Amino acid sequence: MEFSHVTPEGWGICPRIPLGPLSISVYAVFMLLAFVVGLSVYRRSAGRAGANTQQIFPIVLAVIFGGVLGAKIPVWVISMIEVPFKDWSLTLLLTGRTIVGGFIGGMLAVWWVKRRLNIQARFGNILAPAVALGLATGRIGCFLSGCCYGTPTALPWGVDFGDGIPRHPTQIYEIIFCLTAFAVIQRRLPTARPGSLMSGFLTAYFVFRFLEEFLRAGELRFGLTPFQWICLAGLTLIGIRAILYSRVAATKGTEP
């Protein structure tokens, strides 16, 4: 599951890479690779756009640290609710994350930093392709390690992750979504309004993920999975942000 990438013995397509007497986690390798890919795409996009590096650097830091906290806080909250305090451990606190929570944490951190530093420029179009391709890369690690799997299916592309039951390869669905989004973003990059591509990607991702949750093996809470509730929170924040930008633009007499 996405709250934790720790899986049972024998679970996953290729969870570890043997290196002599040792082995390394495929999940960890692809998480690192996702960061490298995202950073490379960001640097290329920023160079082409001639972005102000002094302004964009704190934005990138906000995305990273806000994203990390946003990815972890929902996990800690769920752990506090479901796991007795006596069973808490360092492993419990350090493992697990949620991408949708990371997106919300990143958004909130960016808004706060821009307000504190009075940064008016919008850099979402530069960050959007990096986020899309980085996420697609990371999901390869999820697929190989067997986390974030789907519900049982009779479809011919069902994947057995280790229990003999063909399941929806929801990781592959997400990879296809992110690669498609990356292609669309790259095509629209030259003519898109500032910031619109990141807003559009996040909106599309939250909607996609909300729907994908119906194919994931997750427990319902108040009629929806925790990730679906987080997606709704993310869509609400994007809506509020759009309204605020529209009001500011109307006051200044400019296009939002």
Query: Residues 50-93: pLDDT tens digits?
Result: 776 667 778 878 888 888 887 777 666 666 656 555 555 555 55
Average pLDDT in the 158-172 region?
93
Total structural domains in the chain? 1
- Give per-residue pLDDT as tens, 36-49: 998 899 888 887 87
DSSP assignment of 95-123 equals S---HHHHHHHHHHHHHHHHHHHT-----
Res. 187: pLDDT tops 80: yes
Residues in Cβ contact with 255 at an 8 Å cutoff, skipping those fewer than 6 apart:
193, 249
Asked, for residue 111, whether it belongs to a domain, the answer is yes
Asked, for residue 170, whether it belongs to a domain, the answer is yes
Q: Which residue has the higher pLDDT, 252 or 213?
A: 213
Return the closest-CA partner of residue 137 out of 106, 174, 170, 110: 174
Asked, for residue 209, whether it belongs to a domain, the answer is no
Structure tokens at 116: 């504190």
Residue span of the structural domain in which 56 resides:
16-198
Asked, for residue 227, whether it belongs to a domain, the answer is no
Q: What is the pTM of this model?
A: 0.83
Asked, for residue 147, whether it belongs to a domain, the answer is yes
So what's the pLDDT on residue 112?
87
Structure tokens at 28: 């960890």
Distance CA 88, CA 231 (A): 27
Using a pLDDT cut of 90, give the percent of the chain over it.
36
Asked, for residue 226, whether it belongs to a domain, the answer is no
Q: Which residue has the higher pLDDT, 78 or 188?
A: 188
Name the DSSP letter for residue 213.
G
For residue 201, name the pLDDT band (cuts at 50, 70, 90).
very high
With 0-12 / 13-18 / 19 or more C-beta atoms within 10 angstroms meaning exposed / middle / buried, residue 219 is exposed
Using a pLDDT cut of 70, give the percent of the chain over it.
82
Pairing of strands 16-19, 166-167: unpaired
So what's the pLDDT on residue 8?
61
CB atoms within 10 A of CB 5: 21
Distance CA 166, CA 138 (A): 22
